[in-house]
A = this chain, B = another copy of it.
């Protein structure tokens, strides 16, 4: 982030026609955004939402309430404008892109082999990197992939420590038997692979869409594009970067707290406080997209408000 822009934005914030601090977290958000965009009076004109889709070999273990073909069906729904993320992207003026990553070639079932080869994970990371529009001024990375909360739970447990039980949740809505099965699958994956390195955890336990998200978030950093993180899966992918390079998520903010049980624990681990807590657990980038509206509000106030001097208003 640009210290001059941060200083300028902080100074401007102090002059706006409001009691000091009265816009609460919106003030911090606007200054953070200004720092990454390198200007003390930024605007948000070109948000980009990218939805990455992947297929998971671990679905063979019966970890999801939905059949795996739903992934491709939902990609078609994204392309035809019928999903939740389409409505939210349109509402907040974001360009939405969809990248389906080899849906006909699922990752390996991580209870028997690494989910991806090195070449495969690198390819997925690159797809994510290349998907980012360098001219975007805000990025949301969403995902679709039946089975991917299982994968995210395994990645989170691998990089943060703790048991499979602590990190495994109900995803799209498995019942108690399904949750027990999922938890066992995660435990077996953790036992099978040597996952002391975060990117190796992403390769052995992750999925193509998780790797693509990590690649996109890293690309956004080089372009100084602030990122709004979505729910559990997006955060697990992002956390592999934070565990690899300290501060790697400084250009990101947590868009929301998902209803997926372990999301709070994961956000705590990367020291992010969510902007919204509305019980969403859909994925697609939906929670983060909803937070675009909040960030736009923060930036609109910061850059559009009159100062005390401009408005002729007496200070405290």
Identify the A interface with B (CB < 8 A). Answer: 16-26, 65-67, 69-70, 73-74, 76-77, 80-84, 86-88, 90-92, 172-173, 259, 275-282, 286, 289-290, 293-294, 296-297, 300-301, 304-306, 310-316
Q: Would A77 and B293 be within 8 Å (CB), given that A19-B282, A277-B277, A301-B88 are in contact?
A: no
* Distance, CA A216 to CA B192, complexed state (A): 64
B23 and A280 contact, CB distance less than 8 A:
yes
A305 and B26 contact, CB distance less than 8 A:
no
Contact of A172 among B19, B65, B311 (CB under 8 A): B19
Contact of A26 among B66, B280, B311, B313 (CB under 8 A): B280
With contacts A19-B65, A25-B279 known, what are 20 further pairs, Cβ within 8 A?
Answer: A17-B83, A17-B84, A18-B83, A19-B172, A22-B282, A23-B280, A23-B282, A26-B280, A70-B314, A74-B311, A80-B311, A82-B306, A84-B305, A86-B304, A87-B300, A88-B301, A91-B296, A277-B277, A278-B294, A293-B294
Residues of B within 8 A of A277 (CB): 277
* Distance, CA A84 to CA B289, complexed state (A): 22
B24 and A88 contact, CB distance less than 8 A:
no
For the complex formed by this chain, how many copies does it contain in all? 2
A18 and B73 contact, CB distance less than 8 A:
no
Residues of B within 8 A of A282 (CB): 18-19, 22-23
A313 and B73 contact, CB distance less than 8 A:
yes
A149 nearest CB across to chain B (Å): 11
A17 and B82 contact, CB distance less than 8 A:
yes
B73 and A305 contact, CB distance less than 8 A:
no
B316 and A172 contact, CB distance less than 8 A:
yes
Q: Would A301 and B84 be within 8 Å (CB), given that A276-B276, A296-B293 are in contact?
A: yes
A57 nearest CB across to chain B (Å): 19
A82 and B281 contact, CB distance less than 8 A:
no
Q: Which residue of B lies closest to A306 (CB)?
A: B82
Contact of A82 among B25, B80, B310, B316 (CB under 8 A): B310
